[in-house]
Amino acid sequence: MKTIQEWQKNFATAAKNKFPNKWDQKDRLFSILRQLADVGRGIQWEMGSYKMTEEEEKHYKSVNHRIAALIADILILCEERKTDLEKELDEVLKWYQS
């Protein structure tokens, strides 16, 4: 099983290869916000409170896939920022548990 750092590096490398034009943190943040909006629309669609065209349904068909794409974008941002995500997640978990 991969560590979080391995996932960060793998996604960051793949993003650089797929999109050779360097994004800055602002671009990555906008991508995260778009992905989050996609997740929101997909969940609303699943709940029946959002109607989609046939074309939109193809894009939002798998909300779980949209969530995974959102996490990938976040991991890429973490790698670009040199974030020790395992350490940060441990701190956040401690906060939830307190």
How many domains in the chain? 1
Q: Residue 62's pLDDT is what?
A: 85
- Does the pTM of the predicted model rise above 0.85? yes
Q: What is the pLDDT of residues 47-96, one digit of tens each?
A: 988 887 888 777 777 889 999 999 999 999 999 999 999 999 999 999 99
Please give the Cα distance from 95 to 91 (Å, whole number): 6
CATH code (residue 87): 1.10.287
Domain that holds residue 67: 4-97
Residues with Cβ within 8 Å of residue 38, at least 6 apart in sequence = 59, 60, 66, 69, 70
Half-sphere exposure of 73 (CA within 13 A, CB side): 21
Q: What is the pLDDT of residues 28-61, one digit of tens each?
A: 999 999 999 989 988 988 898 888 788 877 777 7
